[in-house]
Chains A and B, each alone.
Chain A
């Protein structure tokens, strides 16, 4: 289960951000996960419960936004919504497609908890 490794990498990024903004803690972490990233959101959520202990995000909630799988056909240019294991063009049936969404695995936003107005200005 590599989701634990992913969570550790996530928490390193979140701790850097919290430190840079002198935050008291982290309220919410929003990540974007596509089915082609190889990461299962439900396993990520379980791993996060373990990984967050003792970190500045120990009380934080993790939200996974799911990215749809979309491909663009390099032959006819059409964009198709696909299943993860069938990335064919739905217009012409071609297999020469590029994934334009669905392999995301990224940190979108971090909601920090802090009472300091200067922190708010830094963020803006």
Chain B
């Protein structure tokens, strides 16, 4: 008897009824995350980072929010303190990697063609060109996009999302998936707040809180070194905590969401 609907079709008579019956094969219960393959590669990347004591940060924002400028300023400020490398993700050009290399830091450019996000496999390929030995900090600058990159774990330890003050302060409400993934939100180009009267940092923070997150929000201005202090402090603190935890390595907020904790383990069920 058919296990699914209780009908009496057998291998001997199925050919008589197959077309009319409309139920001609088994139903396989799966319950597997669609991104399981990506997540496995991401864990593999994270293991690489952990083996080498590298703290990896995935930097995300809309295009033009100032990710590369923030990295340039960070390298200038911390280059003597930490050994830094950068993986750059863009649809086309080596421009951003060239800007980073001009600061004396190793950079690998991933050009995604038409793909709107980095995934764990692309980062894994880039790691083949990037010796991790001796590195302290690895920044992965994702493709400028507030939608797609949020869905893909790359193996990073922390997600940092930039929201430039030239954008709308309601961005967290418009892009909840991205801002929920953030471990830190940086209000970039904050030196422009004095001349912009339509961006209210408190409104941006309220929109973030409405996503059920107490993610810290800091201001940064890449062109004004004193205005980088909260960002540099955060980096130093997170790296120190990461190292202190030793074997209990950090994972980004998304990998430990409440739903993931309550849900059964990712496995093939009934197969």
Q: Which residues of A contact B (CB under 8 A)?
A: 1-2, 5-6, 9-10, 12-13, 17, 20-21, 23-24, 27, 31, 36-39, 71-72, 84-88, 95-120, 122-124
Q: Are A120 and B26 in contact (CB under 8 A)?
A: yes
Q: Are A100 and B27 in contact (CB under 8 A)?
A: no
> Which of chain B's residues have a CB closer than 8 A to the CB of A111?
23, 25-28
Given A2-B116, A98-B212, A99-B258, CB of A38 within 8 Å of CB of B26: no
Given A85-B174, A96-B212, CB of A110 within 8 Å of CB of B30: yes
Q: Which residue of A lies closest to B145 (CB)?
A: A2
> Which of chain B's residues have a CB closer than 8 A to the CB of A39?
151
What would 5 more interface pairs be, CB under 8 Å, given A104-B259, A109-B28, A123-B28?
A85-B172, A99-B212, A100-B262, A106-B30, A115-B15
> Which of chain A's residues have a CB closer than 8 A to the CB of B37?
9, 12-13
Cα separation A101 to B207 with both chains bound (whole Å): 20
Q: Are B116 and A1 in contact (CB under 8 A)?
A: yes
Min distance, Cβ B210 to any Cβ of chain A, angstroms? 5
Given A38-B150, A102-B259, CB of A87 within 8 Å of CB of B211: yes
Min distance, Cβ B123 to any Cβ of chain A, angstroms? 14
> Which of chain A's residues have a CB closer than 8 A to the CB of B36?
9, 13
Min distance, Cβ A36 to any Cβ of chain B, angstroms? 6
Q: Are A27 and B25 in contact (CB under 8 A)?
A: yes
Q: Which residue of B lies closest to A97 (CB)?
A: B212
Contact of A10 among B18, B34, B262 (CB under 8 A): B34
Closest 6 CB pairs of A and B: A98-B258, A123-B26, A117-B11, A87-B212, A2-B148, A112-B25
Q: Are B258 and A72 in contact (CB under 8 A)?
A: yes
Q: Are A114 and B26 in contact (CB under 8 A)?
A: yes
> Which of chain A's residues have a CB closer than 8 A to the CB of B18?
115
Given A105-B35, A115-B18, CB of A100 within 8 Å of CB of B258: yes
B135 contacts the other chain (CB 8 A): no
Contact of B30 among A13, A98, A100 (CB under 8 A): A13
Number of contacts between A and B (CB, 8 Å)?
A: 162
Contact of A113 among B25, B151, B210 (CB under 8 A): B25
Q: Are B26 and A2 in contact (CB under 8 A)?
A: no
Min distance, Cβ B196 to any Cβ of chain A, angstroms? 23
Q: Are B27 and A84 in contact (CB under 8 A)?
A: no
Q: Which residues of B contact A (CB under 8 A)?
A: 2-3, 10-11, 14-15, 18, 23-38, 115-117, 119, 147-148, 150-152, 172-174, 176-178, 180, 207, 209-214, 257-259, 261-262, 271
Min distance, Cβ B169 to any Cβ of chain A, angstroms? 14
Cα separation A102 to B258 with both chains bound (whole Å): 11
Q: Are B26 and A122 in contact (CB under 8 A)?
A: yes
> Which of chain B's residues have a CB closer than 8 A to the CB of A9?
34-38
Given A31-B34, A98-B212, CB of A85 within 8 Å of CB of B176: yes
> Which of chain B's residues have a CB closer than 8 A to the CB of A102?
259
> Which of chain B's residues have a CB closer than 8 A to the CB of A2?
115-117, 147-148, 151-152
Min distance, Cβ A6 to any Cβ of chain B, angstroms? 6
Q: Which residue of A lies closest to B266 (CB)?
A: A106
Q: Are B258 and A105 in contact (CB under 8 A)?
A: no
Cα separation A115 to B31 with both chains bound (whole Å): 25
In the assembled complex, 11 residue pairs joining A and B whose CB atoms fall closer than 8 Å, in A order, are A2-B115, A2-B148, A9-B38, A36-B180, A37-B177, A99-B257, A100-B259, A112-B26, A114-B24, A117-B14, A120-B26
Min distance, Cβ A32 to any Cβ of chain B, angstroms? 9
Given A9-B35, A115-B14, A119-B26, CB of A17 within 8 Å of CB of B151: no
